[in-house]
Amino acid sequence: MSIPGRRVVERLRQPAYTGPNRCLPCTVLNVGIALALAAVVVAATTPPAGAAVLAVGLAAIYLRGYLVPGTPELTKRYLPDRVLRWFGKAPALPDPGETVDVEAYLLEAGVLVDPPEAEDLELADGVAGEWEERIASVREAPAAAAGDVLDLDEPGVEDRENATVVTEGGLAVADWPSRPALLADLGAVGLLADRDPDWATRGHEEQGRILAGLRLFVERCPDCGAEPELGEDTVESCCRRAQVYTYSCPDCGARLLEIEQ
């Protein structure tokens, strides 16, 4: 026999915003609103009334994920990136110029050249072929290659929603926009290490920015071999919306790079 109270709870519950889908920034924002409302009621009436308002508000947040309708849109619009990053919600978009001048580095390393007759930088002679060979060497065992690069004891590679994740013992340690993006970086590591005697001493964050910058010059999709194309798109989390430039494969749809406009 079913319990009426339980049926009511299940009707009120919103799985899209609760359980594993619960958004921490939205929850924190709404709990703050519930506390503020309770304080106003206490000041205007009595403490028991404020406690009742708080209890109802927290119950709504627990069951529905938020108290104020439209919270996901509100957090996208009004919460600044620095606040969202505290909760790991801001899209981790590459910013090559933040700690290293990637173009200057790749030119100095001899990976890129700036031909006077060309409109943009391009890969130096022989680099594209060497890069493709290195990608081919890690394609069948990306987890082992990632383990060597990141110094992991139990490496794994998993394709999750909108990302390819490198794991250590099942726990995520780093992510890429796609498996081809991961393959491109794994192939580029050896290419750069051969040209930069200090590569191994650079931090993972700096290496990541350099690899992301170089990824924009991969000439063939590491998965299907098609020629990637530049484009524009909108990326969203539950709390944020951003316009990005993309470098993606038109055939298999793999996204190699996203750079916020």
- DSSP-derived letter for residue 197 is T
pTM for the predicted model, two decimal places: 0.61
Return the pLDDT at 94: 36
CB-based burial, 196-230: b 16+ in 10 Å, e otherwise: beebeebeeebbbbbbbbbbbbbebbbbeeeebee
Q: What does the pLDDT read at residue 97?
A: 41
Residue that wins the pLDDT comparison between 239 and 24: 24
End-to-end CA distance of the chain: 56
Give the model confidence (pLDDT) of 143-178 as tens digits.
999 999 999 999 999 998 788 999 998 889 999 999
State how far the Cα of 90 lies from the Cα of 99, in Å rounded to an integer: 19
What element of type H or E holds 43?
Answer: helix 24-44
Positive or negative: CA dihedral 34, 68, 234, 178: positive
**CB 182 within 8 Å of CB 164:** yes
Name the band, by pLDDT with cuts 50, 70 and 90, for residue 74: low
187 SS3 class: helix
Q: What is the pLDDT of residues 99-134, one digit of tens each?
A: 578 888 898 899 999 888 877 899 999 999 999 999
- Extents of the domains making up the chain: 4-86, 102-222
174: β partners: 166
Rounded distance between C-alpha atoms, residue 49 and residue 114, angstroms: 71
Q: Give the whole-angstrom CA distance, residue 212 versus residue 256.
A: 9
Report how far residue 255's alpha carbon sits from residue 245's, in angstroms, rounded to the nearest whole number.
Answer: 11
Mean pLDDT of the chain: 80
pLDDT one-digit tens code per residue, 89-104: 554 433 434 457 888 8
Question: Using CA atoms in the order 176, 181, 185, 186, what is the torsion angle rounded to 10 degrees?
Answer: 90
Q: How far apart are CA 240 and CA 76, in angstroms?
A: 4
CB 53 within 8 A of CB 37: yes
Whether the per-residue pLDDT at 182 is higher than 50: the answer is yes
Give the whole-angstrom CA distance, residue 224 versus residue 250: 10
* Residue 222: strand, helix, or coil: coil
How large is the average pLDDT for residues 181-196? 94
**b/e map 110-130, b = 16+ CB within 10 Å:** ebbeeeeeeeebebbeebeeb
CA 28 to chain CA mean position, Å: 21
pLDDT at 186 over 90: yes
- Give pLDDT tens digits for 4-41: 455 555 565 666 666 666 777 777 777 888 888 889 88
- Give the position of tokens 């609760």: 18
Q: Write down the pLDDT at residue 134.
A: 96
Between 67 and 252, the more confident residue is: 252
The string of pLDDT tens digits covering residues 32-55 is 888 888 898 889 899 888 888 888
The DSSP call for residue 189 is: H
Q: Which pLDDT band, with edges at 50, 70 and 90, does 77 fall under?
A: low
The whole-number pLDDT of residue 154 equals 94
Cα dist from 256 to 184, 209, 259, whole Å: 8, 13, 10
